[in-house]
Structures are given as C-alpha cells and as structure tokens.
Structure 1
Amino acid sequence: MSVPLYEAKAELFRLLGHPVRIRVLELLQDGPKPVRDLLAAIEVEPTGLSQHLAVLRRSELVTARRDGSTVVYALSGGDVAELLRAARALLSAKLSGRHALLNELLEEETGQR
C-alpha cells in the first residue's frame, strides 16, 4: 500500500528536522566532503555524526563512497541544494517581515516622544 504524498512530504521534513543534518547538507553544497572535514566543521561526537549521516543516506539525500579508508559524502542531487535555497528564501522573507515591523514600531516609538 502506498503512502499518501502529504505523508511522504511530512516524513521528508521530519528527516530534515535536526540541525546537524541541515548543517551536513549545507556543507555538502560546496561539493563532496570526507567525514573528517564534516567532523571538523560540526561540533558533534563522531558517533552522533555517523548516525545522522546514516539517516541522510537511507533517505537518499546523500551518497557515500569509499576512497581508501576515507568515506566521502556528497549530495545525491541538485534538488537537495534547491530545497536548502528555498528554505533560505522563506526564512529571509519571514525575517525581513519582522525587521520591517520592528522598524515601524521603533519609528512609532520615536515619533511619540
């Protein structure tokens, strides 16, 4: 039995619902990275990073390949980077709305004095 599309989308967003996973995806936007580079950039224990990478691998958002004894991770495709760009745009719009409201409040407060 197939899962409804809205449930599949909810599962995707649940998988993305951890800051370490988002940070890993952001770092991989610049190209493939070995685990040691990811560890150096993210303050997390190696076992914790390994668990997050496993979740991202199972969800097919990243790929892994061995280069000797090193495991190198990469985004599975451009759609992942596009999703991160869309999230950034949504946050920018949300925060700029707050900034505009804050400016309006400050102007109002200054005008009343």
Structure 2
Amino acid sequence: MIPNQSIQQFKADFFKAMAHPMRIRILEVLSDGDKNVNEIQSILGSEGSAVSQQLSVLRSKNVVTGIKEGTSVIYSLRDPLIKELLAVAKQIFDNHLVDAISLLEVIRRE
C-alpha cells in the first residue's frame, strides 16, 4: 500500500470507530478523565452491555485503552488529542448552526 493510502485508511478506520453517537458520548465522558464501565454507564444512563459493546469497538480500533484494576477495567483515551478533535467537531457544528440560523433570519425577512 502506498504511504498516503495507509494514512487515508487509518483515518477512515479511525472515523468509522467514532461513527456512533454512543461512542462519541463515551469519548466525551473519557475526555473528563479515566472511568470504569459502571461510571460510564451511570453518566450515560445506559445499559452496561451497550456501553461495553461500544467500548469494545473503541478498544479494537485503538481509540481507547483499558487497564485492569482489581475486578474493574479503567478506560482512558489512547491519545489526548481526541479531546481536541471532539472540541473542533463541536466548533464545526456550532458554525453550521450559526449559518443555518442566519439563513432562517434572511428567509423570515423576505
């Protein structure tokens, strides 16, 4: 595989791993600090099996890591830049929202 294709494939796989609302929310929760499944489940108000399933996807794609502590596994972001990536995604969303609101205001005036 050509080096650029390898990077592009990595990016595609990385974004696929993040392409689920619960996985994004889990990453947002982990952006605030390391947590075990029960803590994540409690914050999300979701079933443990659903959280575990999404954590498994994130682990398999090396987006999060898990370290066993006693009977629990403590999850963390594999790379702290993920927190910044999520912040940039929110800024992009906010920019789109501002554009949509501006367009609605123009339509209302017409």
- For the criterion TM > 0.5, the same-fold answer is yes
TM-score, L = length of structure 1? 0.85
- Give distance in 2, aligned partners of 1:60 and 1:29: 15
Q: Could you tell me which runs of 5 or more consecutive residues in structure 2 were left unpaired when the two chains were aligned.
A: none
SS in 1 for 2:66: strand
> Once the two structures are superposed, what CA deviation does each residue of 1:70-102 show, in whole Å capped at 9, x if it has no partner?
221111122111110111111111111001111
Seq. identity, %: 34
Bigger mean CA deviation after superposition, 58-67 or 23-32: 58-67
CA contact (8 A) 2:14 2:63 kept: no
Q: Could you tell me which runs of 5 or more consecutive residues in structure 1 were left unpaired when the two chains were aligned.
A: 109-113
Give the counterpart letter for 1:48 in structure 2: A
Find the structure with the greater CA-based Rg: 1
- Give distance in 1, aligned partners of 2:13 and 2:63: 13
Paired position in structure 1 for 2:33: 31
Match of 1:97 among 92, 96, 99: 99
Match of 1:15 among 3, 17, 35: 17
Give the counterpart letter for 1:54 in structure 2: S
RMSD in angstroms over aligned alpha carbons?
1.7
Paired position in structure 1 for 2:50: 48
How many angstroms does 1:107 deviate by? 2.3
Give the counterpart letter for 2:22 in structure 1: V
CA contact (8 A) 2:67 2:75 kept: yes
How many angstroms does 1:2 deviate by? 6.2
How many angstroms does 1:24 deviate by? 0.2
- Give distance in 2, aligned partners of 1:52 and 1:38: 11
Give the counterpart letter for 1:52 in structure 2: Q
TM-score, L = length of structure 2? 0.87
State the aligned residue count.
108
